[in-house]
Structure 1
Amino acid sequence: MGTHERVWIDVLLYTGLRRGDAVLIGRQHVKDGVACIKTAKTGTEVNIPILPPLQSSLDAGPTGDMHFVTNKNGTPFTKESFGNAFRKACNAAGVKKSAHGLRKIAATRAAEAGATVAELEAMFGWNGGRMASLYTKSADRRRLALRGWGKS
């Protein structure tokens, strides 16, 4: 807690935003505990509750005045520079992952918790059902397998 890297991880994990949107979101997007932002890629509005773990991370900071995700100088990132800084921090921690991996984790967790295709689309700003179906198919398959084995 209290590091840029922790804010970065928690913003990505608890919002499910792409890095280009994660670098834009800030206090001006939050009203009554819900962040509302139009995604840059699809222009779809997403509504994201600021869950307690994210709020704790934001409270501990460091964050900027208008952006939760900032660089070591306290200024906003571009999506490219954020991606590079995030990967560099991951490498320093011995983790060979990227910022997008946390979006995948957020979608997987939601699907495994029972989120529907429509809910995933609303959460992540997707359209057409294809992307959301990838996550629900895996989660449903696992649930069905475990339920089936319980019948044997």
Structure 2
Amino acid sequence: MGTAVSVVFRTRWPIGTSKRAAFELLHWTRFRIGDAVMIGPGHVDRAGVLIYTQSKVKQPAFVPWTARLPAYAEGYAGDREAMHDALAALNSRHMTFLATAAGAPRSEKGLGNMIRAAAAEAGIEKSAHGLRKTRGVALAEAGASAHQIMSWLGHQTLKEAEHYTRQASRRRAVMGEEQEQNVATPAAQVATFPKKP
């Protein structure tokens, strides 16, 4: 789901609803539904990184939970804050973040249906799977390397993550950003820059 779609979903489902909490968790982590129903506070290490071995590909994913955000992700601090607010509003002290009111983990099918129905009620024709791809694109466009994207999304191979960085590089090339990065600054100009205190 893109930015505009996220705004529509958030407008329809306010903080305090399980639909919003599920959306924000998936939006930030980009975990698959099957993994999202199993993660909880126990997966966050002492450094504030959420680490989880994905059930489908058996590869670990590393997501900055409370840890300082890397430079390429600083622009997404608001997304992380929205996730923490949405989860805190559930006031849940269960083993998994998206547990049912009774404290039981949700089923993969149940969570998928909930997100699909919530999106439809907000007038969005998207599923939870669409959330995963948008984070890879966003991170690449923000300057994340293929290795960094691979760690966050838990890809099995570097080739999968490079798909996002190649797209971002091509986009930057037509926007003039790449040319600006490749222009050397003349020595005379360097001398006129003010020194940092």
| TM-score, normalised via structure 2 length | 0.69
| 2:59 corresponds to 1:44 | yes
* Counterpart among 79, 85, 96 of residue 114 in structure 2: 85
Distance in 2, Cα, partners of 1:145 & 1:117: 20
**Partner amino acid, structure 2, of 1:42:** V
Residues 70-79 or 90-99, more deviating: 70-79
Q: 1:26 is matched with which residue?
A: 40
Number of the residue aligned with 1:136 = 165
1:4 shift after superposition: 0.5
Distance, in Å, in 2 between the alignment partners of 1:36 and 1:102 is 19
Letter in 1 for 2:49: V
Q: Indicate the SS of the match to 2:155.
A: coil
C-alpha separation in 1, matches of 2:136 and 2:89: 25
Equivalenced residues, count: 151
1:107 Cα offset (Å): 1.2
| Residue pair 2:119, 2:127 contacting (<8 A) in 1 also | yes
Mapped partners of 1:81, 1:145: distance in 2: 43
Structure 1 regions of 5+ residues with no counterpart? none
Distance between the aligned counterparts of 2:84 and 2:168, measured in 1? 28
Contact (CA 8 Å) 2:20, 2:86: kept in 1 or not? yes
Q: 1:19 to 1:64 in 2, by over 3 A?
A: farther
List alignment gaps of at least 5 residues for structure 2: 1-14, 66-79, 181-197
Report the AA paired with residue 38 of structure 2: L
Query: Match for residue 70 of structure 1?
Result: 99
Give the Cα separation in 2 of the matches to 1:104 and 1:135: 9
Distance 1:28 1:90 in 2: 29
Which entry has the higher C-alpha Rg, 1 or 2?
A: 2
Secondary structure, counterpart of 1:48 in structure 2:
strand
Distance 1:38 1:128 in 2: 15
The corresponding residue for 1:57 is 86
Which residue among 131, 146, 149 is the counterpart of 2:175? 146
Distance in 1 separating the partners of 2:169 and 2:102: 44
Aligned-partner SS, 1:96 = coil
Task: Give 1:27 deviation, angstroms.
Answer: 0.9
- Equivalent-residue separation in structure 2 for 1:113 and 1:67 (angstroms): 30
Q: TM-score with structure 1 length normalisation?
A: 0.88
Deviation at 1:141, TM superposition (A): 0.8
- Cα distance in 2, alignment partners of residues 14 and 143 from structure 1: 24
Q: Secondary structure at the match of 1:134?
A: helix
Closer, same or farther in 2 for the Cα pair 1:62/1:9, shift >3 Å? farther
Cα distance between partner residues in 1 of 2:150 and 2:178:
30
Deviation at 1:8, TM superposition (A): 0.6
- Equivalent residue for 1:5? 19
What does residue 143 of structure 2 align with? Answer: 114
